[in-house]
């Protein structure tokens, strides 16, 4: 009898030990090889907006590659249209975001003079016929890009009696401009600013 009870005791102890091991594995979990993954409800994509923005890709001192050139010209066209429209409307705050400090002063003075003379300007931008980079250079700590713009606009100026003194509201005019944009070579700010208008 004692031998039988001993054998039964061993079986019972084994069953109890197995039960305890199973409970521990359920409570503590098992290694699956995916412990490093974020659990559902806290996907990594939810935290992407908190990640710092990557540093802008450095510009080569010799100029833009093909993709960079296309992106720059697209931005330059937006800046050109935004600047001439804002200038016509006298929107100084918008201009400050697109101009160097020196150019902002020049535009500000021109708008003030126009206001003093009781002249209003109206401009409708039609579209670009051409835009291309004519020159790219680095001078000290700044990049400079000269861009040629050829566009179509309708532009008129009126006096205080609302009489047209310049331009034709029914005539599309072709305008050619050569603008120089600048950018701090060491700044993480990707924006370029109008630095000079070349008179040709």
The pLDDT assigned to 57 comes to 55
Here the CATH number for the domain that contains residue 90 is 3.10.450.240
Domain annotation covers residue 147:
yes
Residue 99 in contact with residue 83, Cβ under 8 Å?
Answer: yes
| Beta-sheet pairing, 193-198 with 164-167 | unpaired
Q: In this structure, how many other beta carbons lie within 10 angstroms of the beta carbon of residue 180?
A: 20
pTM: predicted TM-score of the whole model, two decimal places: 0.70
41 in any annotated domain: no
pLDDT, tens only, 36-49: 433 333 333 333 43
Residue 154 lies in domain: 66-198
Q: What is the pLDDT of residues 179-196, one digit of tens each?
A: 999 999 999 888 999 999
Q: How confident is the model at residue 66, as a pLDDT?
A: 84
Domains held by the chain: number: 1
What band does 21 get if pLDDT is binned at 50, 70 and 90?
low
pLDDT at 167: 96
Position 116 in a domain: yes
- Residue 129: inside a domain: yes
If one compares 7 and 173, the residue with the highest pLDDT of the two is 173
Quickly tell me which residue has 């010209």 as its tokens: 73
Residue 154 has what pLDDT?
98
Residue 156 lies in a domain: yes
SS3 37: coil
Is there a domain that residue 91 lies in? yes
Rounded average pLDDT over 110-139: 96
In a domain, 131, yes or no: yes
Cα–Cα distance measured from residue 194 to residue 191, given in angstroms and rounded to the nearest whole number: 10
The answer as to whether 37 is a domain residue is no
DSSP state of 140: T
Contact 86/94 with Cβ under 8 angstroms?
yes
């Amino acid at each position: 009898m004692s031998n039988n009870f001993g054998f039964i005791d061993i079986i019972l102890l084994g069953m109890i030990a197995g039960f305890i091991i199973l409970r521990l594995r359920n409570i503590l979990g098992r290694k699956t090889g995916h412990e490093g993954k974020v659990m559902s409800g806290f996907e990594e994509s939810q935290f992407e907006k908190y990640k710092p923005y990557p540093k802008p890709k450095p510009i080569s001192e010799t100029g833009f590659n093909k993709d960079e050139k296309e992106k720059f010209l697209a931005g330059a066209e937006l800046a050109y249209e935004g600047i001439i429209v804002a200038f016509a409307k006298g929107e100084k705050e918008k201009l400050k975001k697109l101009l160097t400090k020196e150019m902002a002063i020049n535009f500000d003075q021109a708008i003030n003079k126009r206001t003093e003379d009781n002249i209003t300007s109206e401009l409708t931008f039609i579209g670009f016929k051409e835009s291309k980079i004519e020159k790219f250079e680095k001078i000290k700590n700044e990049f400079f890009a000269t861009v040629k713009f050829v566009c179509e606009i309708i532009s008129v100026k009126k006096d205080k009696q609302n009489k047209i003194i310049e331009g034709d509201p029914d005539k599309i005019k072709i305008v050619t401009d050569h603008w120089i944009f600048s950018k701090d070579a060491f700044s993480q700010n990707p924006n370029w600013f109008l630095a000079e208008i070349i008179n040709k």
